[in-house]
Amino acid sequence: MPRICKECIELISSFKAYWYYEFSKASIDRYGPLIYRCCFAPESCYLCVNRPPSVADVPKAIIFELHNYKTMKDVAILIHEDAVLSTVSGAMDMLIHTNRFFHEKGKPLPFKIMLVGQEPENRFLRNPEPYVSYCPIDKLEKPGLIIVPAFYGDRTLSLEKHKNLIEWVSSKNKTGSEVASLCSGSYFLAEGGLLAGRSCTSHWFDRDDIVSRYPDVNFLSDMVITDDRGIYTSGGAFSSLNLVLYLIDKFCGRDVGVWASKMFSLDMDRTSQSHFSVFMGQHSHSDEDILKAQQYIEQNHHQQLNIDDIAGHSNMSKRNFIRRFKKATQNTPFEYLQRVKIEAAKKALEKGAQNINILMYDAGYNDIKTFREVFKKITGLTPQDYRRKYSRDMPMQERVDVYSTINMVN
């Protein structure tokens, strides 16, 4: 696509006649000499090299670029060798189609989409020109929005490996760029200090690790989207597309958001990912006494346990037990017991359990109202709704102790 230099664009932007499709011949004739004198990149700028005498001689691609320059939001999607490409391509595709929607309506495009990275050329994912360009980060001045994708690999090794990218994102945020993370991309933001004192979300699987690494971050594992003073984060895996939908809605208006929701078959205003979460137990600590207490809870959750009993089984005072348990697991013993009970109930519902009362007793509850309230608080769904969402009609299978699996994994 023909290019024009920054100086030409900036100069043209001062003449409002240029910011509509009606690029009149009079405007070109009047302001053309000024454009040519103020352009400092003659080797690459179409207007400098060719000096078209009238608008009829200016390629449509340039007119289109000029037409949208002032209204576009520069969106830089980070890409690197460990990036989860589905999060990159998903965001890119939604933004491209939104631009096409505006183009078909004869309106200025809302987004200028770029893939950005440390490499001089893009070798990771095809960017469909002219809809998406590629730019090395050392040549990019200040994008309006940076999107950080999810990534593969060991968290510690990956964060060290991509330290330069993390520092670049952080530096651009300090100069005014907004930043959005998709799924585990929130690690880049947290590592760069962008989430300190802010709320964020990520994949529910990363909850314990993020809370441990970044204690100054308010991690909301149940949320699908957070928006905190120009920093956006999303939930896990493909729920990250809900954040892209949210950004389209925010920057383009509600009508466009509704259109995008229908076009991409995404629920608008979805807020929770808690019903996707699998409670794996929180065993990544070195307190042997608390590990034994956790095992005791997991094996006896169906009984009428209380904190005094569990503390006594662990040979500790109640106060000391609660303190050590919270320090090791980030949950109080009571919260942990509730999570274990509800996880057992979820597994039973997934297998097709029909009688909620029997399921409730098996999980260790004796009051249906309390059971429903706790179940909905943890999963975001009622037991009946959860069963409708995840149960499959299948022959009864042998009952499995899910916590024996947890203990094997940990």
Tell me the DSSP string of 9-61. HHHHHTSGGGGSS---HHHHHHHHHHHHHT---TTT-HHHHH--SSGGGS-HH
- Kindly state the average pLDDT of the residues 106-118: 90
The residues pairing with 234 across neighbouring beta strands, listed in sequence order, are 225
Q: Which CATH superfamily, name and number, covers 288-409?
A: Homeodomain-like (1.10.10.60)
CATH code: domain 73-276 is: 3.40.50.880
> Is the pLDDT confidence value at 125 over 50?
yes
3-state secondary structure 90-137: HHHHHHHHHHHHHHHCCCCCCEEEEEEECCCCCCCCCCCCCCEEEEEH
DSSP 281: -
Q: Render pLDDT for 164-206 as a digit per residue (tens, 0 to 9).
A: 999 999 999 999 999 999 999 999 999 999 999 998 999 878 8
Tokens describing residue 378: 């943890």
The CA distance from 262 to 203, in Å, is 25
Rg (CA), the chain: 27
Contact 257, 249 (CB under 8 A): yes
For the CA atoms of 391, 395, 401, 404, the dihedral, rounded to the nearest 10 degrees, stands at -90
Q: How far, rounded to the nearest angstrom, does the alpha carbon of residue 11 sit from its chain's CA centroid?
A: 37
> Which residues have a Cβ under 8 Å from the Cβ of 76 and sit 6 or more positions away?
114, 115, 116, 135, 140, 143, 145, 146, 147, 177
pLDDT band, very low/low/confident/very high, at 401 (cuts 50, 70, 90): very low
> Is the pLDDT confidence value at 80 over 80?
yes
The CA distance from 349 to 346, in Å, is 5
Q: What percent of the chain has pLDDT over 70?
A: 74
pTM listed for this prediction: 0.60
The CA distance from 203 to 220, in Å, is 10
Q: Render pLDDT for 27-71 as a digit per residue (tens, 0 to 9).
A: 444 444 333 333 334 455 656 666 555 545 555 545 544 544 445
Residue 48 pLDDT: 60
DSSP 272: B
Residues in the chain: 410
The CA distance from 408 to 410, in Å, is 6
Q: Render pLDDT for 259-292 as a digit per residue (tens, 0 to 9).
A: 999 999 888 766 655 545 546 667 778 888 998 9
The closest of 339, 371, 340 to 355, measured between CA atoms, is 371
Contact 224, 272 (CB under 8 A): yes
User: What are the structural domain ranges in the chain?
Assistant: 6-69, 73-276, 288-409
Place of tokens 């183009």: 103
Tokens describing residue 231: 């920093």
Q: Render pLDDT for 347-400 as a digit per residue (tens, 0 to 9).
A: 888 777 768 888 888 888 888 888 999 888 888 888 888 888 777 654 444 334
> Is the pLDDT confidence value at 90 over 90?
yes
> Is the pLDDT confidence value at 14 over 50?
no
Query: In whole numbers, what is the pLDDT of the chain averaged over residues?
Result: 78
DSSP 208: H
The closest of 370, 361, 350, 374 to 302, measured between CA atoms, is 361
For the CA atoms of 226, 232, 235, 238, the dihedral, rounded to the nearest 10 degrees, stands at 140
Phi/psi for 42 (5° steps) reads -65, -25
- Widest CA span of the chain, in angstroms? 91
Contact 336, 294 (CB under 8 A): yes
Contact 180, 232 (CB under 8 A): yes
The CA distance from 206 to 210, in Å, is 6
Contact 41, 68 (CB under 8 A): no
SS3 400: coil
